[in-house]
Amino acid sequence: MKTITRTTQMTLLPECEPIFAESAIVLTIEDEAAGEYLKVCTASDSGAILIDPAEWPQLRDAIDAMMAEIAKHERQQ
């Protein structure tokens, strides 16, 4: 049987912080036998967000729109 190497987790954190830092954000590909989804949580795993790939384009657009709204109002201050 041929095996592959697959990345299933990534951690975003400030450069000088340990991977368990409170500011760390962990992205994990999960699958509970109903199809893969992306789990986004803090290193402590509190308040996780689960993202279905089919929902991602609309969610990404909404996030981009809200970030643009924040940026627009920051420039006005």
What would the pLDDT profile of 11-28 be if each residue is shown by its tens digit? 988 899 998 888 888 999
Query: Taking a C-beta distance cutoff of 8 angstroms, is the pair 29, 8 a contact?
Result: yes
Q: Do residues 50 and 38 lie in contact, with contact meaning Cβ atoms separated by under 8 Å?
A: yes
Which tens digit of pLDDT belongs to each residue from 53-67?
A: 998 999 999 899 988
pTM: 0.72
Any domain includes 2: no
Q: How many domains does the chain have?
A: 1
What's the pLDDT score for residue 69? 83
Is residue 26 in some structural domain?
yes
Residue 40 included in any domain? yes
Is pLDDT at 6 greater than 80 in this prediction? yes
Identify the domain containing residue 30 by its residue range: 9-76
- Cα–Cα separations (whole angstroms), residue 40 to 3, 46, 58, 73: 27, 10, 17, 27
Encode burial over 15-27: b for 16+ CB neighbours within 10 A, e otherwise. Answer: eeeeeeeeebebe
Write down the residue that tokens 């709204």 correspond to: 69
Report if residue 4 sits inside a domain: no
Q: What is the mean predicted confidence (pLDDT) over 66-77?
A: 77
Whether 3 maps to a domain, the answer reads no
